[in-house]
Amino acid sequence: MTRSAPAAGAADPPRPAAAPPAFAMTGGQVALDGRPVLRGVDLHVAAGEVVAVLGANGSGKSTLIRALLGLVPLAAGTTELYGLPPARFRDWWRIGYVPQRLSIGGGVPATVREVVASGRVARRRRLGRDRAADRAAVARALDAVDLGARAGDPVGLLSGGQQQRVLIARALAGEPETFVMDEPTAGVDAGSQRHLAGTLETLVGQGRTVLLVAHELGPMAPLITRVVELRDGLVARDGAPDGAPGCHPHPGHEQGRPHAYGVAGGPLTPEDRG
């Protein structure tokens, strides 16, 4: 049987609207302490991209990430998350944020498992509580960073690199669509970096979006689909990786200077957003 042509004058079937990009900044400017830090950044990140943001110390990488998430205000320009300005965006469970390393510190009595489980909060607000699913996701996240054996330990007893892995696990536990990671592997040993790269490879294979600031891409390099290099608050380069995986992305960069902002990784909470 042949399929008959649509009757003349019949309306075309509705086409699905194109999904908005995960991030869309246009002309983004940020000033901190009265000093321009981002000076007019255009950056659109489509769902499924794996973008590395590179650049020298102080070029504005963390500020860009934070501005994209609405954590610092724009002085000019616009930015959107999944088509909405951050102030109107509600689906924070879709985004897992790993802030630049900071010491969780000895003053935090929470266990590793509790910190990782807090990554489920935004998802639970949206989708309701499912204890079995929560437990399974937390166990998977701990396993992905190889910290299952430390789950019951106070997080303040862990080394800096292990605490970083806890923050990564917190983001993983939320099972977000998009990961935003600010130097996730700074201070993390080579074996754990490989482990994380394997986990990211699986997530990327599932179509998740990744936006990461990195000093050394290391074993994550083959996953990167696009490199954005910042210089003095402007995009100096935006394109495919140059085929030098694991390269030192910028000679002016020192690794692992902790910054005292952000409180924990994982889907953003109202507290993260201030």
Q: Which is nearer to ligand ATP, 88 or 237 (CB)?
A: 237
Q: Does 60 bind ligand ATP (CB under 6 A)?
A: yes
- Selected range binding ligand ATP among 44-52, 56-64, 122-130, 166-174, rule: CB under 6 A: 56-64
Give the nearer residue to ligand ATP in terms of CB position, either 28 or 55.
55
Residues 13-32 that bind ligand ATP (CB under 6 A): 32
Of residues 61 and 94, the one with the C-beta less far from ligand ATP: 61
- State the minimum distance, in angstroms, from the CB of residue 26 to ligand ATP: 19
Q: How many of the other CB atoms lie within 10 Å of CB of 203?
A: 20
Of 41 and 204, nearer to ligand ATP (C-beta) is 41
Residue length of the chain:
274
Q: Convert residues 226-265 into a mask of x (bound to ligand ATP by CB under 6 A) and - (unbound).
A: ---------------------------x---x--------
**Closer by beta carbon to ligand ATP, 158 or else 186:** 186
Alpha carbon separation from 76 to 30, 31, 66, 144 (Å, rounded): 7, 9, 15, 40
CA atoms of 142 and 146, how far apart (whole Å): 6
Minimum CB separation of residue 61 from ligand ATP in Å reads: 4
CA distance 144 to 166: 10
- Residue pair 95/80 in contact (Cβ under 8 Å)? The answer is no
Our measurement of the distance from residue 187's CA atom to the centroid of its chain's CA atoms, rounded to an integer in Å, reads: 18
User: Least Å distance between CB 30 and ligand ATP?
Assistant: 8
Q: Which residues pair with 231 in a beta bridge?
A: 234
Q: Is 80 helix (H, G, I), strand (E, B) or coil?
A: strand
**Are the C-beta atoms of residues 213 and 253 closer than 8 Å to each other?**
no
In the complex, which residues of this chain contact ligand ATP (CB under 6 A)? 32-33, 37, 55, 57-63, 253, 257
